[in-house]
Chains A and B, each alone.
Chain A
Amino acid sequence: DVKVTQSSRYLVKRTGEKVFLECVQDMDHENMFWYRQDPGLGLRLIYFSYDVKMKEKGDIPEGYSVSREKKERFSLILESASTNQTSMYLCASSSGLAVYNEQFFGPGTRLTVL
């Protein structure tokens, strides 16, 4: 079974703090993704990576950065958290380049920025 784990289920931070969200997958997948999910807006792609040390911007990268130093780990960084970054953050992974490859999601991190 593919397993994608995220470091925290719930996180509360203060405005201006630097926040790290960690994601680990155990299936040797090449591709990893970070999304945020907000009511009425659905899932929106923040950043993704198709290989170690490679990263590409998604649809809403502003205010975020990522790091992928090892194949199994993909980190999302909020350099200076703001209240509009309060959201559910979901990490996903998938293998290869085939157009019908499934994305497997982690359980999510609900981040609240006060």
Chain B
Amino acid sequence: RKEVEQDPGPFNVPEGATVAFNCTYSNSASQSFFWYRQDCRKEPKLLMSVYSSGNEDGRFTAQLNRASQYISLLIRDSKLSDSATYLCVVNPRQYQGAQKLVFGQGTRLTINP
């Protein structure tokens, strides 16, 4: 079983729609969680961190369910510019030094006009 699993998609949705992604992780001791965004032929960039209480940033809402070991990302009122690959990222905290991250393979999203 992969440490971080997410549906690779692709998801094709019309502009203005609401879209949600889920991601599951296998290590129950994982310490921190993130969504990164990767545009085509670009490097990944942090979209938002995911906290236990859930958090919102504009049209984006992230939630964490530790009991079921999944993370979700909700995008409301989607824009053409939201087209990208969304990477679910987990810090398994197996090492006491630098914070290693484990990346899911990404979910590809295309917003259609």
Interface residues of A (CB under 8 A from B): 30-31, 33, 35, 40-45, 48-50, 56, 58, 90, 94, 97-103, 105-108
Contacts and interface: CB of A to CB of B under 8 A. Distances in A.
Of the four ranges (under 10, 10 to 19, 20 to 34, 35 or more), the interface on chain B belongs to 20 to 34
Nearest to B44: A105
Interface in B86-113: 87, 91, 93, 95, 97-106
Nearest to B43: A105
A43 B87 CA distance: 9
Interface in B13-55: 31-32, 34, 42-46, 49
A100 B49 contact: yes
A44 B43 CA distance: 14
B46 A102 contact: yes
What does DSSP make chain B's interface, helix, strand, loop or mixed? loop
B105 A49 contact: no
A41 B91 CA distance: 18
B3 to A, nearest CB: 9
A108 B42 CA distance: 8
Given A50-B97, A94-B99, A99-B32, A105 B45 contact: yes
A42 B104 contact: yes
5 closest A-B pairs by CB: A42-B105, A105-B43, A31-B98, A50-B98, A43-B103
Contacts of B91: 99
Contact of A45 (B87, B93, B100, B106): B100
Nearest to A39: B105
B35 to A, nearest CB: 12
Contacts of B102: 45
B88 to A, nearest CB: 9
B105 A40 contact: yes
